A and B are shown apart, each in its own frame.
Chain A
Amino acid sequence: NAGVMQNPRHLVRRRGQEARLRCSPMKGHSHVYWYRQLPEEGLKFMVYLQKENIIDESGMPKERFSAEFPKEGPSILRIQQVVRGDSAAYFCASSPSLDYGYTFGSGTRLTVV
């Protein structure tokens, strides 16, 4: 089992461009979480998804951010029209069930220039 795979590891975007961050959960894991880590801070919850459903998006900014976890393929966190304040590390985590605890990926560092 390869663990939670996130790509790209580093992503540079100019202001106004779109950023797409991918997360492939561990095999057999149907619960996916996205977190954002600003420099020198702890991780902050963004969204929780199960296959084809958004369960809790209370941590997602209201505009420009969206997430999906399709029936086939990785989970995608999409940021439209990026701004400098979006620069952060974005982590994905997956779990087989709610009582199991979850495993983090290595994160994607987004830099907006």
Chain B
Amino acid sequence: AQTVTQSQPEMSVQEAETVTLSCTYDTSENNYYLFWYKQPPSRQMILVIRQEAYKQQNATENRFSVNFQKAAKSFSLKISDSQLGDTAMYFCALTPTQGAQKLVFGQGTRLTINP
């Protein structure tokens, strides 16, 4: 079985600050994908960033980057120069590369960016 744990239910930072959201996971699979999804009040699930476990290089997408520590089973998301539009729920998720590729989600972190 796979599990994903997000230990920070809520976070709040000032606009332009940097914020890091934590995620740990457990899986017995050798190869898997890790994701961060953003869910704004509109409820749309938006893919923020994706990491393949066999790639050692941390993924980056503009202001978003991850710190992937495979041995520690940790996958944190860093948001630089935070903007008001970053306010949302953020979900960490995991899926094995083989099989049906069902996503297992964490409980989410509610991030608020204050002006």
Contact = CB atoms under 8 A, between A and B. Distances in A.
Interface of A: 33, 35, 40-45, 48, 55-56, 58-59, 89, 91, 93, 95, 98-99, 101, 103-104, 106-107, 109
A101 B32 CA distance: 12
A112 to B, nearest CB: 18
B42 A43 contact: no
B30 interface: no
A contacts with B: majority SS:
strand
Contacts of B12: none
Contacts of A109: 43
Contacts of B80: none
Contacts of B83: none
Nearest to A89: B43
Most buried by B among A93, A95, A101: A101
B43 A41 contact: no
A86 to B, nearest CB: 17
B43 A45 contact: no
A42 B47 contact: no
B101 A41 contact: no
A35 B37 CA distance: 14
Contacts of B35: 101
A91 to B, nearest CB: 6
Given A43-B91, A101-B33, A109-B43, A48 B102 contact: yes
B25 interface: no
Contacts of B91: 42-43
B105 A42 contact: yes
A99 B32 CA distance: 11
Contacts of A101: 33, 35, 47, 50
B50 A104 contact: no
